[in-house]
Structure 1
Amino acid sequence: MNMAQRERRALVDAMSTVGPDAPTLCGDWTVRDLAAHLVVRERRPDASPGIMLKPLAGYLESVQTKAARRPFPELLEDVRTGPPWWSPLKPVDAVANMTEMFVHHEDVRRGAPGWAPRELPAADEAKLWTMLRRMGKMAYRKSPVTVELATPDGRNAVVHTKSGTAKVTLTGKPSELLLHAFGRDEVRIETAGDPEAVRTVLSLDRSV
């Protein structure tokens, strides 16, 4: 079982445990809303482009709202089984859904007070580091200063360079840094750099 499949299974278990009305880290979305988002993303290719394309966002919202009205167990079953054979995501599930399932699993776990980071296998952290280096450039593209990501074991990557400016370094496990790059603030990371520059980086719009 690959990481995407394991995270998908754990996500569904977490959703089932906390229930449909529990909060998530996805703005004002409840667990039910998040489940509907995942189902539409994987099973409604007519609506899912609205996730990235603003002119189609209204249609996406209407489809997602309708999906959210379905019985919660049905939504969870669709999330659990993943993209159907005809979905464009099916052939690339292991890659396209690895970060998606990991991030949304943590959205559910960290949606309520009292959460603690998980201890992921080293191989999983390595996979997340690879993905982080790829998408970090997009996440921190709006930064007015240079941004470096680093791990406690010595890995580092400059994901945004701004000539003649201060440098801010964010340090944490790849899993924590990835969540931050995806716009989540409920993370365990350390910062280094000019205090004002650090505050600027932490408050960036990191949407991809």
Structure 2
Amino acid sequence: MTTYARDERAALASTLLDVGPAAPTLDEGWAARDLAAHVVLREGRPDLAAGVFVAALAGRTERAQAELAHGDWDELVARVRCGPPRWSPLGWGPVHEQVNLLELFVHHEDVRRGGAGWSPRELPAGMEQALWVQLRRAAPVLTRSTPTALVLSRTPGHDEVRLHARRGRTTTVRGLVPELVLWVFGRVAAARVEVSGDADTVGAAEDALGV
């Protein structure tokens, strides 16, 4: 069984310790401490994390996240490193890999690319393929708000995903798998991709995704 998600979790925790709690991230308004608190809430308190998706619960989520974020930093990062509690299905073997790899990769890059001087990582080929498989599955939902058709084209090679074909105008995004993941997750300014289509079409797609 692959352990890419577990490896990415360990790498995220190490990067968090390296940059410190006040480091900027790609998530607007979040420092590293806020991102770490979000990861812990998502995995250990899904009832409190629900406010990310349900507006009526947002205040409760924000309060819980702020309390975690301003606690002991080393303890918070240790909780990120340890992962979901034993009772949580999010921590169970193959489930952990399938549910957490994209999330942990994106949040690791949120921290890495939040400041100056970053460069893309060279990932193992197996991890890139795992990201691609999971992106193909998740992209229809993640891009549901885009008003245009999308083509995600993987480089090198010609493998691609076509989405929302009935929406007419098309935005084509071409790049390495990690960069496509970041673009689909709304990190459009930080993703090193080639985007083609008329300006209005591209702008509408990126506005719909942007963090």
Do both proteins adopt the same fold according to a TM-score greater than 0.5, normalized to the shorter chain?
Answer: yes
Seq. identity, %: 42
The answer for unaligned runs of 5 or more in structure 1 is: none
Change (3 A) 1:114 1:65: same
Q: Which residue of 2 aligns with 1:28?
A: 29
- Counterpart residue number, 1:194: 198
For residues 106 and 147 of structure 2, what CA distance do their matches in structure 1 show? 26
1:183/1:205 contact within 8 Å kept: yes
**2:9 alignment counterpart:** 8
> TM-score, normalized by length of structure 1?
0.92
Give the letter aligned to residue 23 of structure 2: A
Q: Which residue of 2 aligns with 1:116?
A: 119
1:146 aligns with 2:149: yes
1:103 to 81, 101, 106: 106
Q: Report the aligned-residue RMSD.
A: 1.6
- State the distance in 2 between where 1:45 and 1:198 align: 34
Bigger proportion of residues as helix: 2
Runs of 4+, deviation exceeding 3 Å: none
Number of paired residues?
Answer: 206
Match status 1:205 vs 2:206 = no
Change (3 A) 1:206 1:162: farther
Alpha-carbon distance change, 131 to 69 in structure 1, aligned in 2, over 3 angstroms: same
Deviation, structure 1 residue 53 = 2.1
In the alignment, what sits opposite 2:70?
A: 69
Contact 2:186 2:206 in 1 (8 A): no
Amino acid at match of 1:189: V
Amino acid paired to 1:101: L
Q: How much does 1:161 deviate?
A: 1.5
Distance in 2 (CA, whole Å) between partners of 1:154 and 1:132 is 16
Q: Indicate yes or no: 2:162 matched with 1:161.
A: no
State the 1:62 CA deviation. 1.2
Give 1:69 deviation, angstroms.
Answer: 2.0
Give the match for residue 53 of structure 1: 54
Q: Distance in 1 between matches of 2:82 and 2:48?
A: 20
Q: Distance in 2 between matches of 1:21 and 1:205?
A: 26
Partner in structure 2 of residue 81 of structure 1:
82
Question: Shift of the alpha carbon at 1:130?
Answer: 1.2
Query: TM-score of the superposition, structure 2-length normalised?
Result: 0.91
1:93 corresponding residue in structure 2: 96
Within the alignment, does 1:171 sit opposite 2:187 as a pair?
Answer: no
Identify unmatched segments of 5+ residues in structure 2. none
